[in-house]
Amino acid sequence: MAQEERRLYLNGEIVEESRAHLSPFDRGFLWGDGVYEITPCFNGVAFRLEDHLDRLFRSLRYVQIEPPLSPQQMEEATNSVLAANSALLDSSPICKLGHWITRGEDPLGTSTPHAGATVCIICWPVGSNEVRGEDFRNGVKLVVVATRRNPPESLDPRAKVISKMNQILAELDAKGTEALPLMLDTRGFVAESSIANFYIVRDGVIWTPTGRNILHGITRKVLLELADRLGIKVIATDFTMYDVGQAEEFFLTHSSACVLPVRQVDRYTPTAEVPGRVTSLLMKAFAEETGIDFQAL
């Protein structure tokens, strides 16, 4: 990395990573009381930043955290982080830009109200072990795990909250299988992976789970736009592993990888080649959108 230290935004200041300090009484640390957002940067440019910040503020409204920055000020602070880390962004074709906002400090054992929200903005490069060309060429494997996706009656999955214990337990379920987890909802319908939305293709039509038990991913939103542009039909519906077993193609979407083909889900393999025709069309469309040839990584 060309620069010695990453710079981040913390409560109104751009500081070196080593100088960034949070109170142990911050409610994000104590209780997981906060929200976050991850935006990919492709060739130094934040991808769909406006959409990501819009979702960030929707999550804040849901959990009733009042941020100290307006949406415009948040975007300005974000751009200052990108400018401060230009050497880092230039050194890696794919980086991540993260926003974390907690309810702020709330000392234990006192009646002192919290002093206002904590805002932290960080960017960092995506490692070669995280986004690998071979996965785009050959597909990844998924395994259905015992941990179910949180139902919206408990916590709405559309909000990106700091506590990821539900997804972490799913990843622990899959540990040792050399596969990524696929989570079902509490009714037995397919939901999503721990960090990605999941899709199948049947008769050339993309099936995506309904919005009830999944994160409304920004990459998912872009995929729907691209599919419409390409004339590929998409339906949002509840489906089970029976439907997965009949599918021609499976794939994932998440921010750093855009579209990632899947070669196997439990005992099921797609009836078409990997990546399939629809998946390949979408991968090509994302490559044009981002300027990244993921298969060549």
73 and 104 fall within a common domain: yes
2 located within any domain = no
> How far apart (Å, rounded) are the C-alpha atoms in residues 259 and 282?
7
Query: Which residue type sits at 6?
Result: R
57 and 145 fall within a common domain: no
Q: Which of 93, 125, 157 finishes a domain?
A: 125
Note the pLDDT tens digit of each residue in 92-102: 999 999 999 99
1 located within any domain = no
265: closest CA among 159, 149, 180? 180
Q: Give the pLDDT confidence score for residue 5 in this predicted structure.
A: 87
52 and 153 fall within a common domain: no
β-strand pairing of 180-184 with 190-193? antiparallel
- CATH number of the domain encompassing residue 178: 3.20.10.10
52 located within any domain = yes
219 and 143 fall within a common domain: yes
Q: Which domain, by its residues, includes 48? A: 7-125
154 located within any domain = yes
164 and 289 fall within a common domain: yes
**Predicted TM-score of the model (pTM):** 0.94
- CATH number of the domain encompassing residue 22: 3.30.470.10
Q: Give the pLDDT confidence score for residue 128 in this predicted structure.
A: 77
- Is the predicted pLDDT of residue 134 greater than 60, yes or no? yes
Count the domains in the chain. Answer: 2
Note the pLDDT tens digit of each residue in 25-59: 999 999 999 999 999 999 999 999 999 999 999 99
